Amino acid sequence: MIQLLWFKRDLRLAQNYALIRAIESAKEKGPVLFLYIHEPELWASPTYSSRHQVFLRQCLDDLRNSIENCGGVLIEKVGSCIEVFSELCAKLPVSRVTAHEEITDSWGYARDKSIRLWLKDHQVEFVEVEQNNIQRGMGLQRPFGDWFELASRAKQRDPRGVDLRRYLVSELPSGIALDEALQNGALPHAVLPHTAPLPCPKAQRGGETQAHAILNRFMNWDSLKAYPYSISSPNRAVNHGSRLSAHLAWGTLSHAQVAKRINDLIAQAHETKRDDVLELESAARFYLDRLQWRQGYHAHTELNPDNDSQEYFAAFKAPDAWPTHTAEYANRLRAFEQGQTGIPLIDACMACLLQTGWLNFRFRSALANFACMGLGLYWKDVGHILARLFVDFDGGAIHWSQMRIASGTGQFDQLLVYSIAKQSREQDKAAQFQKQYLPMLRQVPAEYFHDFWLRPAEELEPFGVALGSHHRGANYPHPIVNPDEATATGKKWVYECRKSGPIPRYTRQT
């Protein structure tokens, strides 16, 4: 007998409770063989792109190295999960499949349901282990404060570098042939499932080793104190934010590991009797609030797995609610996706995402909010574009809840509306961020950026800016809308639609 440990978004060995569960049952259920499945249908979805595959490849390479150092084997397969499990279960005496409970979108939810049924029909035990305080079908497993106490006291289990050969399958089982393109079981990009090409030259690197390096950089007193005052600014957040989002999204770090480190840091501050311990505690609470929000969004998605597809209000479900078939809509969608709206803050955000795959939280929200309410774009279209760009796209656990808030189409009571002028003036007063990503505007005075759409073309010409889309010599587009007026109109329309009332099955609040 052998067990399969199916990695999904838990690409780590340290503090991996699915791994712990499998090792603890090795005597009864057999040694553990590690598995990752590249699913063509997943990669063909409009939310994934090649930048995700690059990050994933880095994670798997690092994971493979750690597994081999422990004496184990990681195999990668391309195909639907049922195809892969059919092959493996036909060739190997598989007694159990263990995986973590993935919080995902409606496609992943349906996939997991079909896998449970298939394994049950084939008399293979399927064990799903909760992760990050979310319980299948229940939402939050326990209140955040109780969870934090448990996570802070939990024994840290990091098997990297430990000889685990007596618990693991230590060589490739006979009958499981690797594709000729495989390199020691790893799939190079040439044979990975096709996905949207979207290179990201300045993206973070993936992998558990890299995740711990970033965690170590952030977990010091100075970084923690700077965090609350930095995350709203795109200029400061890049260096003073935690920058852990991609690693939390892909599971190279867990919530519990982060919580434990914060608790240890504050305990150390008390032990050394630092004068700034109260300031540190306040900053720690501020960060933990955001960790709690992550769990809240995960719980909402677990209880509403079709959050990425269904409308909650009747008016938004009407066939003519979103004019996606018009040429004007197509032009606006294209301008948004390419960062060519003529609104400097919006275009700088898109340029930043295209180059780095990351943007601070406030500007993500402002960007999505403007796209939906200011440009009148369908929230699903905007969500797909941004998901492909975000290296830290989480499979939908947080992303779609954020899109529903930003677009005003979700279950949340209050409408969130950002003023582009206000965000530009308050968070990028000197236009440092906008000039960094829009080099054609670097000679423009900073104050012009905060009301750029009100400036006539001749006022910008002395600074080397030629507005236009088609004529020769143009280097920046005309503003596609006046964001103040357009957002006000969009807000009014969304508010009227919400007055139509919720669709009955969605009256439940998380």
Q: Is residue 510 part of a domain?
A: no
**Angle 379-389/361-369 helices, nearest 10 degrees?**
150
| pLDDT at position 180 over 50 | no
Report the interhelical angle of 399-407 vs 277-303 (nearest 10°): 90
Structural element, H or E, at residue 38: strand 32-38
Contact 72, 172 (CB under 8 A): no
Which one of 302, 334, 362 terminates a domain?
302
190: in domain: no
| Judgement on whether residues 390 and 488 belong to the same structural domain of the protein | yes
What one-character DSSP code corresponds to residue 205? P
Domain-embedded: residue 153: no
Question: Residue 410 belongs to a domain with what CATH number?
Answer: 1.10.579.10
Q: What is the mean pLDDT of residues 246-256?
A: 96
What is the structure's pLDDT at 181? 44
pLDDT of residue 507 exceeding 70: no
Helix axis angle, 81-91 relative to 106-121, nearest 10°? Answer: 20
Tokens matching residue 386: 């941004």
Same domain? 402 vs 472: yes
Q: Mean pLDDT, the chain, as a whole number?
A: 91
Q: 14-47, pLDDT tens digit by residue?
A: 999 999 999 999 999 999 999 999 999 999 999 9
Whether 46 is covered by a domain: the verdict is: yes
What is the band of 474 on the pLDDT scale with cuts at 50, 70, 90?
A: confident
- What pLDDT is recorded for position 506? 41
User: Among 302, 336, 361, where does a domain finish?
Assistant: 302
The answer on 364 and 287 residing in a single domain is: no
Question: Which has the minimum average pLDDT: 25-29, 168-172, 217-221, 397-401?
Answer: 168-172
pLDDT of residue 473: 79
Total domain count, the chain: 3
Q: Is 124 exposed, middle or buried (0-12, 13-18, 19+ CB in 10 A)?
A: middle
Q: Distance (Å, rounded) from C-alpha 469 to C-alpha 478?
A: 7
Give the rounded percent of residues in the chain with a pLDDT score beyond 90.
79
Evaluate whether residue 35 is within a structural domain: yes
pLDDT at 11 > cutoff 50: yes
Q: State how far the Cα of 57 lies from the Cα of 53, in Å rounded to an integer.
A: 6
Domain end, chosen from 257, 279, 302, is at 302
Q: Are residues 357 and 383 in the same domain?
A: yes
393 and 468 co-located in one domain: yes
- Average pLDDT of the segment spanning 396-407: 92
289 with 383, same domain: the answer is no
Burial class of residue 502 in the structure, from the number of CB atoms within 10 Å of its CB (0-12 exposed, 13-18 middle, 19+ buried): middle
Among 158-167, 372-381, 498-507, whose mean pLDDT is lowest?
A: 498-507
In this structure, the answer to whether residues 281 and 335 fall within a common structural domain is no
Q: What is the pLDDT, as a whole number, of residue 329?
A: 95
318/410 same-domain check = yes
**Contact at 8 Å (CB) between 226 and 31?**
no
Q: Could you tell me the CATH number of the domain that includes residue 77?
A: 3.40.50.620
pLDDT at 185: 53
Q: Is residue 269 part of a domain?
A: yes
Residue 131: which pLDDT band, with cuts at 50, 70 and 90? confident
What are the pLDDT digits (tens) for 409-428? 988 878 889 999 999 999 99
pLDDT tens digits, 191-201:
788 999 999 99
Instruction: Give mean pLDDT, residues 3-10.
Output: 96
Judge if 269 and 319 occupy the same domain: no
Percent of the chain that is helix, strand, coil (3-state, to 5):
55, 10, 40
Predicted local distance difference test score (pLDDT) of residue 471: 65
Position 178 pLDDT exceeds 80: no
Is 82 a domain residue? yes
Q: What is the dihedral sign for C-alpha 422, 427, 430, 436? A: negative
Q: Please tell me whether residues 325 and 257 are part of one structural domain.
A: no
Residue 188's pLDDT is: 59
Q: What is the dihedral of CA 276, 278, 284, 288, to 10 degrees?
A: -170
Range of the domain at 231: 208-302
Domain assignment of residue 64, yes or no: yes
My answer on whether 326 and 429 are in the same domain is yes
- 345-369 residue pLDDT tens: 999 999 999 999 999 999 999 999 9
pLDDT of 354 = 97
> What confidence tier does 138 reach under pLDDT thresholds 50, 70, 90?
confident
Q: Which two tokens stand for residue 111?
A: 């996939």
Tens-digit pLDDT profile for residues 68-113? 999 999 999 999 999 999 999 999 999 999 999 999 899 999 999 9
Give pLDDT tens digits for 302-346: 888 889 988 888 899 877 888 899 999 999 999 999 999 999 999
Residue 285 sits in the same domain as residue 364:
no
Range in 108-112, 244-248, 390-394 with the lowest mean pLDDT: 108-112
